[in-house]
Chain A
Amino acid sequence: MITLYDYELSGNCYKIRLLLSILGIKYHSHTVEFYPAAEHKAPWFRQINPLGQLPVLQDDDYTLCDSQAIMVYLASRYDSGNSWYPRDDPQRLGSVSRWLAFADSITNSASSARLVEGFFYDFDAVACRAEAHRLFRILDEHLWFNAKSGHHWIVTGDSPTIADIACFPYIMLSEEGSISRQDYPAIRRWSDHVKRIPGFTVMPGIFPAGPAQ
């Protein structure tokens, strides 16, 4: 039995919901109210994750925090096709790890700017936005060159990986932190592809794909 410690408006929790849905895995969502109750800082939750962060996954008696780590675990254990976390291809696997780390940097910039505007956190929003734009520029260029060689996904190959899922939420929520995506056309095309992955689901602030072009 899988339990996800979950908050609907969290992009990091949404990553996990999205992967669970795509892989068709049933789970129980245990809501931890991030705002305003700050339940993730409560003593009971810190016993589960001393970092006081969402999400946390429990699979029977195995407990894991960090959204990237959780996706590595879920894909390794439950993706029989071995495509979301391509264990058998060292180079693609290396690239997946690289972009998982990149996704956490997006959390620390784009997501932080969103927390300032929507949830009244006291971070330096100007610095967060500048960092997010720097990261988006890097990803946009990477995706643009990938697309030139016929690849839709962050890690080149025929099918998406957990790197795509990891980067997707806080890029799509960036406007809630006043980070415009207007100047990132390759990111826009890539996000349309992500939205057409079978099993794709939304969260508040993220919309389903428009009609096919």
Chain B
Amino acid sequence: MSLCNDPVIRNQWHVICALEDISPRNTHTTLLGESVSFAANTDTTGARAWRTDAPDTSLPVTCAYGYLWTCLGTADKPLFALPEYAEADRRNVCAATVGVRVSAPRAVENFLDMGHFPYVHTGILGEQPHTEVREYDVTVEESTNDVIATRCRFYQPMAAAGADGGMLVEYIYRVPHPYCSVLYKSCPSDESRLDVIALFVQPVTEETIRAHALVSVIDENSTDLSIRMFQQTIFGQDKPILENQFPKRLPLDPRAETPIRADKSAIVYRRWLSDLGITYGVIPAAA
């Protein structure tokens, strides 16, 4: 397995496991091609992680948004902020972890694409003939350098576990990390608030991932189980679509793939990855 020599990616925080799934026993996972072990501990951090072949040296850890994060290089900045997670009346559910044979950027790009809803998540997040992706805006925010897509609107037959009918849903997408995306969508139970669904992608290798989902919603009625099953169904539907994408790494050359639609957010996301100098999980544009 080739190791990651992309410094930007090495120095990022990467998700490795849901906190609720960590036990005092040692568990192993793979991150950027390296075997990493972790276990719950009783000190202030709550968990310890280390390279499996170097058990005496701890890796840095962050426990945030329901998940354990670590860094194999030098974490030069804290993990991105997700202030909604701390709002008292939200249900925060670690909803799914799924292994997928695809690169991390392909998974993020799919997450940003509303166009696939009616075809892949038929009857849930979309429905034919409501296939049109309406005009929306994408920018890279100056202060945070996050990619932000706003005014995204889509007709959804069943927008969330707690929905009881179709609605025109408004989305905001945010990409605060090369391999993570957060979406904010109209909340079926409270018009003034936004539900949050975050995709945290663990790069296992350049072409395999574990996709983790955090669901943070205003919903007093749904059970944790139904929230999790809703998200697992969605991820299960995406999996074969993602695994059939070729090449598995995301091509950053603007001429590499003809977009079927005006994939504005994909174009901006790819350019943003290029500008960050990302090489892991992508096919860099020729200089």
Contacts and interface: CB of A to CB of B under 8 A. Distances in A.
A119 B99 CA distance: 6
B236 A8 contact: yes
B240 A175 contact: yes
Interface in A1-45: 8-9, 31, 33, 36-37
A36 B233 CA distance: 14
Given A36-B18, A178-B101, A204-B233, A118 B225 contact: no
A176 B236 CA distance: 10
A203 B240 CA distance: 12
A117 B233 contact: no
A9 B225 CA distance: 14
Contact of A118 (B21, B98, B237): B98
A117 B99 CA distance: 6
A119 to B, nearest CB: 7
Given A36-B97, A118-B98, A176 B229 contact: no
B101 A117 contact: yes
B243 interface: yes
How many B residues touch the partner, as a band? Answer: 20 to 34
A199 interface: no
B228 interface: yes
B236 A31 contact: no
Interface in B95-115: 97-101
A50 interface: no
A8 B239 contact: no
A28 to B, nearest CB: 14
B225 A203 contact: no
Contacts of B233: 8-9, 204
B232 interface: yes
B21 A120 contact: no
B229 A118 contact: no
Given A8-B229, A36-B21, A204 B236 contact: yes
A205 B240 CA distance: 6
Given A36-B97, A118-B99, A205 B232 contact: no
Nearest to A32: B225
A176 B100 CA distance: 8
B97 A176 contact: no
A51 B127 CA distance: 40
Given A175-B240, A176-B239, A204-B239, A9 B232 contact: yes
Interface in B80-107: 97-101
Given A31-B225, A36-B18, A118 B239 contact: yes
A74 B147 CA distance: 53
Contact of A205 (B101, B225, B237): B237
Nearest to A203: B236
B262 to A, nearest CB: 26
B258 to A, nearest CB: 23
A59 B18 CA distance: 37
A33 B225 contact: yes
Contacts of A175: 240, 243
Contacts of B232: 8-9, 204
Interface in A184-206: 203-205
B21 to A, nearest CB: 6
Contacts of B237: 204-205
7 contacts: A8-B229, A9-B236, A33-B225, A33-B229, A36-B21, A120-B210, A176-B243
In the A-B complex, the 10 residue pairs with the smallest Cβ-Cβ separation, listed nearest first, are A204-B236, A204-B237, A118-B99, A9-B236, A117-B99, A205-B240, A8-B233, A204-B233, A205-B236, A31-B229
Interface of A: 8-9, 31, 33, 36-37, 117-120, 175-176, 178, 203-205, 207
Given A36-B97, A203-B236, A204-B235, 20 more contacts: A8-B229, A8-B232, A8-B236, A9-B233, A31-B229, A33-B225, A36-B21, A117-B99, A118-B100, A119-B98, A119-B99, A120-B99, A120-B210, A175-B243, A176-B240, A204-B234, A204-B237, A204-B239, A205-B237, A207-B240
